[in-house]
Chains A and B, each alone.
Chain A
Amino acid sequence: GNSVTQMEGPVTLSEEAFLTINCTYTATGYPSLFWYVQYPGEGLQLLLKATKADDKGSNKGFEATYRKETTSFHLEKGSVQVSDSAVYFCALSDGSPPTDKLIFGTGTRLQVFP
């Protein structure tokens, strides 16, 4: 079945460091890919998405490129801030109507220190 694998955390960085959180997936067909973020005490929020191969999703300085050849969707940010400290979830949707449930990875906790 479809699945998502994320790198384990926590990832600990100093402010302004470069961030990469690895995500790979297993899926049949052509899934859409997502990164969700969960700030402390809050619900999940969509950070970015990509719906087809070679698409690049971007938001708030974060980017991820849908790589079909390597079945990956790694999250990157050039310069992290303390406010980016959160748990990041990679997810896929197989987009098979009418059900388009999200399948999540286990999450990666990011801690950014001043």
Chain B
Amino acid sequence: EAGVAQSPRYKIIEKRQSVAFWCNPISGHATLYWYQQILGQGPKLLIQFQNNGVVDDSQLPKDRFSAERLKGVDSTLKIQPAKLEDSAVYLCASQQGPGLIAYEQYFGPGTRLTVT
């Protein structure tokens, strides 16, 4: 079975520029997550989708970050404008069932963003 795909793998931008990340979850997985992993820290949830609806975006900086999951499959995460503190690895994960306790989340390889 194909895993979670993310692109690009690496991105370098200047502050105040915009950037977008793409994620393709495992086929049939209803739940999709975007996490931010700053160097030396554990991943932190930014947003959770169930099909194409948002379940939790309480930690998403909505003044600059946006995300969508059209048709309940692929998802994009956008940052506009970027700040230096946005430098991090952005991880996408998917899970088979919505709200099913302790089901495994499958992670993609991540996109490493550097803001200069």
A residues contacting B by CB (< 8 A) are 4, 32, 34, 36, 41-46, 49, 51, 89, 91, 93, 95, 97-107
Contacts and interface: CB of A to CB of B under 8 A. Distances in A.
Interface in B1-32: 3-4
B72 interface: no
B9 to A, nearest CB: 10
A91 B44 CA distance: 11
Q: Could you say which of A4, A36, A101 has the most chain B C-beta atoms within 10 Å of its C-beta?
A: A101
Contacts of A99: 48, 55-56, 99
Interface of B: 3-4, 33, 40-45, 48, 50, 55-56, 91, 93, 95, 98-110
B8 to A, nearest CB: 15
A20 B75 CA distance: 38
A89 B89 CA distance: 15
A102 B55 CA distance: 14
Nearest to A46: B104
A18 to B, nearest CB: 25
A89 B42 contact: yes
30 contacts: A4-B42, A34-B102, A36-B107, A41-B109, A43-B91, A43-B109, A44-B43, A44-B91, A45-B107, A46-B106, A49-B102, A49-B104, A89-B42, A89-B43, A91-B42, A95-B101, A97-B99, A97-B100, A98-B99, A100-B95, A100-B100, A100-B101, A101-B45, A101-B56, A102-B45, A105-B42, A106-B41, A107-B40, A107-B41, A107-B42
A97 to B, nearest CB: 3
B10 to A, nearest CB: 12
Contacts of A36: 107
Contacts of A105: 42
B101 to A, nearest CB: 4
A7 to B, nearest CB: 13
Of all A-B residue pairs in the complex, the 10 with the closest CB atoms, nearest first, are A104-B42, A97-B99, A95-B101, A98-B99, A44-B107, A32-B102, A43-B107, A101-B45, A99-B56, A43-B109
Contacts of A95: 101-102
Nearest to A100: B99
